[in-house]
Structure 1
Amino acid sequence: MQGGGWDDDGTDGYVHIMGVDTARPGSLADHGEAVIARRRHYAEFFGEAPLPADFGLVVGNCQAESLRLVIASEELPAIRVPAVHELTAADAARLHGLLAAAAFLVVQPIRDDYRGLPLGTAQLRASLPPSARVVAVPAVRFAGLHPFQAVLRLPEYPEDPPLVAYHDVRTVAEAAGRPVPSEISPAAVRALADASVAELRRREALGLDIPASDLLSPVVDDLARTVNHPGNALFLPLGERLVEALGAPGRVVDPGRPLLASVRAPLESWVVDAWNLDAEPRPDWIVAGEVLPAAVVREAHLAFYAERPPLLAAVVARMEPLLLTWGAAA
């Protein structure tokens, strides 16, 4: 039983693409203004700003930039790098050129030849100078605050659901004609959370340098924004471990704002009760700072599934363990 599901897409965990995907038609590669803005945003990466001395890189999925923000300082000058799922062939070549001069690399597990590019963890390590420090960190996801949620990468069906790129087990079940309850017991919530922590521990044991699984307790509302987007309550202590593992005189940096917070899933009242959280329930989504009613998302997703029966069947197959868990609570 895996709370929220796990989906390997090369980064040893969920890859949730926010914004524009450079590998798809209509992407920023086709729009000059977006390209200029992207190069400005990643100025050091693209050689449009000078590199600091003894710079390093943090490479991985959407969590990598948040990790960079909490470790970057004068002592640990980590430059901004696009998320690995956004890299083009030219970007990959640029990344390897930077690695050849880097003082350190923080990297999530990435399979060799990810998306047909030399972006695997071992391939990135091979470009580093012998003196460079390397720390492998986990990609973290946690089902305890969103035990109804999954994000899936289905190669045969690359289209994400509308409005928010997450699947809700209750909406999927309704679309498939096998309804489940609207909520589950506190014991079931904790069991799904425990399962996601156990899976993270299993992955940490495969050779990562620092753990994160023990940081998922105690459960607080700032621990996660969605099933695959941790919050500051995870990133700050993980950043402390990362700074220590790099053996540098740096310190963790509190950015003074919520990290990875452009999309916030509902925090439902029965989840708040299950953990006895000191937080107000939030029944709706928040996307780019605006409230997005959960009912609007549900209706849009039901229509999306109704128009794509083969995709729905694939989603049901991938979410079967979660559907069974929820169905048992009926």
Structure 2
Amino acid sequence: MGGETTRVQSLADHGEAVIARRAHYAAFYGDAPLPAGYGLIVGNCQAESLRLVVSSDVLPAVRMPAVHELSADDAVRVHELLRGASFLVSQPVRDDYRGLPLGTAQLRASLPPSARVVTVPAVRFAGLHPFQAVLRLPEFPEDPPLVAYHDVRTVAEAARLDVPAALGPAAVHEIADGSRAELRRREARGLDVTASDLFDPVVEDLARTVNHPGNALFLPLGERIVAALGVPGGAVDPGRPILASVRAPLEEWVVDAWNLDAAPRPDWIVAGEILPAETVREAHLAYYRERPALLAAVVDRMAPLLATWAAAA
């Protein structure tokens, strides 16, 4: 009886989640009217933040799920919407992404001839979090507990490697330069809008985590997108921090390296609540200890960052 009750509750929870998702993306799913002259902004978790700063009366962008959250039915709906869209803003997406026709070229092919298209980079910047990596390991799809990020120091501790607890300014700047160089490399593939120069000077609000930019990046990037779309006006300030549900620690040695006008923050902030860095460290050590093959894969993927840190030991 208890098992049946649990199953029924699970189905009910799933149903509520589906209803909530459809309500959140009502226009996308056809449950609310589409605005005249609408467009789509397609990409990873940064796409919704771009929508917030780009969407306006002259550029009404439909809220939609991130590309990695789209189902096969969602992909069909994307192409239906594109056939009537006035514009598309897209991060680069490879053809047949996750087995679905969601590549940038595939999306572009469904647009009317008059639609405007702007391609923008997906952004990562490690200058404020030079200890951090976000990894996608197909053979190990489960994220680390509590926060979906790997800390080079915790990885080194789990793998019995020697790295320091902090870096000096030169090493912090080297890691930041590497982020900019990688972004410039991807921009050089022919993207319409660039972002690599927006990480200079470095200020606290540029990034919440290594792959979550802040308003200091999104607002000027939004200005560039609006200009590239060729319409009057500029970016829209949402009046609140965006992409801010997870904030990584801002460590004192990072503040010193950039001479930031900000107080160090030793712990995580997740959904508005403080999550002690030590709690995350202990949970991740246990996670690696129970998964030696995953730890080996993480060490392999993080080898360049581990080498930078080891050189500073």
TM tier, smaller: over 0.9
- How far residue 251 of structure 1 moved from its aligned partner, in angstroms, is 2.3
Which residue is 2:142 aligned to? 159
Which residue is 1:85 aligned to? 68
* CA distance in 2 between partners of 1:107 and 1:163 (Å): 30
User: For 1:113-145, what per-residue CA distance to the aligned partner results, in whole angstroms no more than 9, with x for missing partners?
Assistant: 101100001000010010000000000110100
- How far residue 250 of structure 1 moved from its aligned partner, in angstroms, is 3.5
Amino acid at match of 2:293: P
- How far residue 248 of structure 1 moved from its aligned partner, in angstroms, is 1.1
* CA distance in 1 between partners of 2:21 and 2:173 (Å): 41
Relative distance call for 1:28 and 1:304 in structure 2 (3 A) is farther
Q: Work out which of the residue numbers 275, 287, 290 in structure 2 matches 1:292.
A: 275
* CA distance in 1 between partners of 2:12 and 2:110 (Å): 26
Aligned residue runs from structure 1 range 165-184, under 5 A = 165-184=148-167
Which residue is 1:14 aligned to? none
- How far residue 83 of structure 1 moved from its aligned partner, in angstroms, is 0.1
Relative distance call for 1:157 and 1:93 in structure 2 (3 A) is same
Query: Any conservation in 2 of the 1:143–1:196 contact (CA below 8 Å)?
Result: yes
User: For 1:218-259, what per-residue CA distance to the aligned partner results, in whole angstroms no more than 9, with x for missing partners?
Assistant: 000000000000000000000000000000123211000001
Query: Any conservation in 2 of the 1:28–1:35 contact (CA below 8 Å)?
Result: no
* CA distance in 2 between partners of 1:199 and 1:312 (Å): 25
Q: Work out which of the residue numbers 237, 249, 253 in structure 2 matches 1:270.
A: 253
More helix by share: 2
Does 2:101 correspond to 1:133?
no
Relative distance call for 1:30 and 1:317 in structure 2 (3 A) is farther
Q: Work out which of the residue numbers 20, 25, 28 in structure 2 matches 1:37.
A: 20
- How far residue 275 of structure 1 moved from its aligned partner, in angstroms, is 0.1
Alignment TM-score, normalising by the size of structure 2: 0.96
SS at match of 1:327: helix
* CA distance in 1 between partners of 2:122 and 2:250 (Å): 22
SS at match of 1:195: helix
Where has structure 1 moved over 6 Å in runs of 4 or more? 27-30
Which residue is 1:245 aligned to? 228
* Identical counterparts, % of pairs: 80
User: For 1:29-76, what per-residue CA distance to the aligned partner results, in whole angstroms no more than 9, with x for missing partners?
Assistant: 981111110000001000000001110000000000000000111111
Query: Any conservation in 2 of the 1:284–1:291 contact (CA below 8 Å)?
Result: yes
Q: Work out which of the residue numbers 194, 219, 224 in structure 1 matches 2:202.
A: 219
- How far residue 217 of structure 1 moved from its aligned partner, in angstroms, is 0.6
* CA distance in 1 between partners of 2:271 and 2:139 (Å): 29
Larger RCO, structures 1/2 (Cα 8 Å, 6+ apart): 1
Amino acid at match of 1:275: W
Amino acid at match of 2:232: P
Which residue is 1:3 aligned to? none
* CA distance in 1 between partners of 2:255 and 2:182 (Å): 23
- How far residue 179 of structure 1 moved from its aligned partner, in angstroms, is 2.6
Alignment TM-score, normalising by the size of structure 1: 0.91
Amino acid at match of 1:249: P
In the alignment, structure 1 segments of 5+ residues that lack a partner are 1-26
User: For 1:158-200, what per-residue CA distance to the aligned partner results, in whole angstroms no more than 9, with x for missing partners?
Assistant: 1110000000000000000013100011000000000110010
Which residue is 2:6 aligned to? none
Question: Cα RMSD between the aligned structures?
Answer: 1.4
Which residue is 1:191 aligned to? 174
* CA distance in 2 between partners of 1:65 and 1:77 (Å): 13
- How far residue 285 of structure 1 moved from its aligned partner, in angstroms, is 0.2
